[in-house]
Amino acid sequence: MSYRDIHDAWKADPEGFWTAAAQAIDWDHAPSAAFFDQGPAGEWFADGMVNTCWNAVDRHVAAGHGDRIAIIHDSPITGSISRLTYAELRDRTARLAGALSERGVGSGDRVIIYMPMVPEALVAMLACARLGAIHSVVFGGFASHELAVRIDDAQPRAIIAASCGIEPGRIVPYKPLLDRAIEQSRHKPEFCVILQREQEPASLIEGRDLDWDRITRDAEPADCVPVAGNHPAYILYTSGTTGQPKGVVRHTAGHLVALAWSMSNIYDIGAGDVFWAASDVGWVVGHSYICYGPLIAGATTIVFEGKPVGTPDAGTFWRVIAQHGVKSFFTAPTAIRAVRRDDPEGRMIPGHDISCLKALFLAGERADPDTITWAEHHLKIPVIDHWWQTETGWAIAANPLGIETLPIRKGSPAVAMPGYDVQVLDAEGQPMPAGELGAIAIRLPLPPGTLPTLWNAEARFRKAYLERFPGYYETGDAGFVDDDGYLFIMARTDDVINVAGHRLSTGAMEEVLGAHPAVAECAVIGIADALKGQIPLGLLCLKKGVTTPPEDVVAEAIAMVRDRIGPVACFKLACIVDRLPKTRSGKILRAVMAKIADGHEVTTPATIDDPAILTEIEAALAALGYPMKASA
């Protein structure tokens, strides 16, 4: 069947389509229907009974594939490679689940996971799924304050963390960050489980912290607990427009069905294949395609603890692909740009036999045509941009390699996947003609696997996604569709920026900067960066009478963002300005400043309060070196 046939089949009978897709999952009790018109945006397979861990792990062992490799941990940063079979993964997961259950963790309890790229991160996620506990993984590059915010929102019964993460050239002790977060949070977990890593073991707090090895050694293995299809499998926090992140909820059954469908139809991966998503378990890509997707498919997943460059060099990706026989590889365009910067001629590729590799998938930010061209030229395989969000959990638009490889149009993540009725709307919510830029929205209901609501924040869910265009989900992205239905995603419509494939809120950074005692008001904008796509830049207005030297304020402000949000914010640029450009109604003109910084032509907005401020902003940015000469 062609993509068109499959898409038409879904359109003709969405429920029949997803009921058929649900056959890929083992149900303890099959759902009575596919779609349930309940909750703010509908729910899928709500009354089925199912367990995620069973489907990702145990059923493969039960089917006689216990010896198949489930996880390869390839860690150039520690110089080690290890493997876990499905049988070993089941045993470790069941034991950790047993240890958690002995201490009271059960269905519906939240568990926060704060871990680097080690196989135990997946074991922890799966152990929660085994018990019906709801995990919330927090990316290791977030600092204590961000962790504390998530602890207060999710109210976990337990936290599972590693003693440290390892970044090139430095060890990042996670345990002190965790301790500080628990000090700061109002909610306190009952206990913490700490995986001690030899690079930096942590001291444990008596009565609260438990050693992972010790408690799992003697634990009674726990069985999989079936949960309802609409039971939350996890909460994953993502950046919104304010400092309070949004807790995206994922329901269990839709998640299983959608990921199973995507593994074969989009990534062309089946049982026994090796799949590698070079991301982090702290992001949605890590949830869907390092942990759950490949395991649900019975494939081998790679947990990679390293960077595209510098661990040890720009040949690492190709070495891993060749050594482990990777069939499909998924990373962010920024990672390929980093490789290309260090190895522009692709000289490090031929030394590795990567004939196993059939496709490179890119997501997380727009794949710029230059990067695609470079990768196609050197890898000689399809390079596939696909577009999705933490909210959707799997691709909204892609080139479905497992069905057919559609012609590639560079700059486009190709076409809408079944389940997504994507529309480009004008400000009044009317569909735009092909080729014209507008807000991208998806007609409700969203397909299985996407978010049904936000954790403890249904009103925010409605306001953020459903209210602007009634009957649609608002993606927050702007773009257009061409005559053949190819989508082009061009920009965000909100104050979210994308730094090295990571989604960050400028509003959250502004909240931190605004707390500096010398800062009267501020704005953070995303400016173009050749490697990371965008980087944040802060413009600070000082309070009258401040005597602290401006350079000290800038240095302190930068340190504050690193301390409160974390190094992942990449906040390294700020300058002092007298005033910020605003509309007459007081709205800061961030987009105008971003255009000036990027060297684009700026038409002075008719609504601006005082056009002279733009000249002052231009001068301040010029002093910082923006616009850069190359982009001017």
Applying CB under 6 A, which residues contact ligand COA? 116, 140-141, 165, 167, 172, 278-279, 283, 285, 307-309, 331-332, 334-335, 338, 363-364, 500-502, 531, 567-568, 570
Q: Which is nearer to ligand COA, 130 or 503 (CB)?
A: 503
Closest CA to 430 of 470, 485, 475: 470
- H or E element at residue 143: none
Q: Does 438 bind ligand AMP (CB under 6 A)?
A: no
141's contact among ligand COA, ligand AMP, none, with CB below 5 to 8 A by partner kind, is: ligand COA
**Is 284 a binder of ligand AMP (CB under 6 A)?**
yes
Residue 393 interacting with ligand AMP (CB under 6 A):
no
d(CA 414, CA 382): 13
Burial (CB count <10 Å: 0-12, 13-18, 19+), residue 226: middle
User: The tokens 């001068």 sit on which residue?
Assistant: 619
238 interacts with, out of ligand AMP, ligand COA, none, CB within 5 to 8 A per kind: ligand AMP
Q: What is the rounded distance in angstroms from the CA atom of residue 601 to the CA atom of residue 38?
A: 48
Q: How far is the CB of 498 from ligand AMP (least distance, A)?
A: 5
Residue 436: other Cβ atoms inside 10 A: 11
**Spatial separation of the C-alpha atoms in residues 184 and 53, rounded to whole Å:** 33
Q: Which stretch binds ligand AMP (CB under 6 A): 77-85, 117-125, 273-281, 365-373?
A: 365-373
CB 411 within 8 A of CB 366: yes
Answer yes or no whether residue 250 interacts with ligand AMP by CB under 6 A: no
Element (H, E) at 131: helix 119-131
Among the residue ranges 123-131, 187-195, 249-257, 385-393, the one whose residues contact ligand AMP (CB under 6 A): 385-393
Residues in the interface with ligand AMP (CB under 6 A) total: 19
- Tell me whether residue 47 or residue 494 sits nearer to ligand AMP (CB atom): 494
Could you say which of ligand COA, ligand AMP, none residue 165 binds, taking C-beta under 5 to 8 angstroms by partner kind? ligand COA
Nearer to ligand AMP by C-beta: 36 or 387?
A: 387
Pick out residues in 458-517 that bind ligand AMP (CB under 6 A): 476-477, 489, 492, 498, 503
Would you say 60 or 340 has its CB closer to ligand COA? Answer: 340
Q: 3-state SS string over 343-374?
A: CCCCCCCCCCCCCCCCEEEECCCCCCHHHHHH
Beta bridge partners of residue 383, listed in sequence order: 360
CA distance 236 to 181: 18
Among ligand COA, ligand AMP, none, the one that 307 touches (CB under a kind-dependent 5 to 8 A) is: ligand COA
Q: Give dist(CA 306, CA 316) in Å, integer.
A: 9
305: contact with ligand AMP by CB under 6 A = no
Q: Does 245 bind ligand AMP (CB under 6 A)?
A: no
Q: How far is the CB of 514 from ligand AMP (least distance, A)?
A: 24
Per-residue x/- marks for ligand AMP, 535-564, CB under 6 A?
------------------------------
Picking from 368, 374, 385, the residue whose alpha carbon sits closest to that of residue 349 is 374
DSSP letter, residue 22: G
Nearer to ligand COA, 46 or 118 (CB): 118
Nearest distance in Å: CB 338, ligand AMP:
17
- Compute the distance between CA of residue 518 and CA of residue 550 in angstroms, rounded to an integer: 9
Distance CA 306, CA 79 (A): 10
Q: Which does 387 bind (CB under 5 to 8 A by kind): ligand AMP, ligand COA, none?
A: ligand AMP
Does 533 contact ligand AMP by CB under 6 A? no
- Nearest by Cα to 131 from 156, 104, 102, 101: 101
Closest to ligand AMP by CB, 55 or 423: 423
C-alpha to C-alpha distance for 476 and 491, rounded to whole angstroms: 9
Report the distance separating Cα 21 and Cα 85, nearest Å: 27
Stretch that binds ligand AMP, among 300-308, 363-371, 461-469, 522-530 (CB under 6 A): 363-371
Cis bond leading into 445, ω under 30°? yes
Candidates 133-141, 376-384, 386-394, 602-610 — which segment interacts with ligand AMP by CB under 6 A? 386-394
Is residue 385 at the binding interface for ligand AMP, with CB under 6 A as the rule? yes
Does the protein bind ligand AMP through residue 389 (CB under 6 A)?
yes
Q: Which does 216 bind (CB under 5 to 8 A by kind): ligand AMP, ligand COA, none?
A: none
Residue among 216 and 334 whose Cβ is closer to ligand COA? 334
Q: Does 59 bind ligand AMP (CB under 6 A)?
A: no
**Considering only residues 21, 181, 257, 363, which one is a binding residue for ligand AMP as defined by CB under 6 A?**
363
Q: Which stretch binds ligand AMP (CB under 6 A): 65-73, 383-391, 424-432, 517-525?
A: 383-391
Query: Contact at 8 Å (CB) between 287 and 126?
Result: no
C-beta closer to ligand AMP: residue 398 or 519: 398
Of 34 and 524, the one with the shorter C-beta distance to ligand COA is: 524
Pair type for strands 422-425 and 438-443: antiparallel
Does 413 contact ligand AMP by CB under 6 A? yes
Looking at 136, 163, 238, 301, which residue binds ligand AMP (CB under 6 A)?
238
588 strand-pairing partners: 582
One-letter identity of residue 214: R
Measured distance CA(434)–CA(280) in Å, rounded: 36
List CB contacts of 76: < 8 A, sequence separation 6 or more: 305, 306, 311, 312, 316
Q: How far is the CB of 77 from ligand COA (least distance, A)?
A: 11
Q: Distance between CA atoms of 436 and 479, rounded to whole angstroms?
A: 8
The answer to whether residue 287 forms part of the interface with ligand AMP (CB under 6 A) is no
d(CA 625, CA 537): 12
Q: Is 5 exposed, middle or buried (0-12, 13-18, 19+ CB in 10 A)?
A: exposed
Give contact residues for ligand AMP (rule: CB under 6 A): 238, 284, 363-367, 385-387, 389-390, 413, 476-477, 489, 492, 498, 503
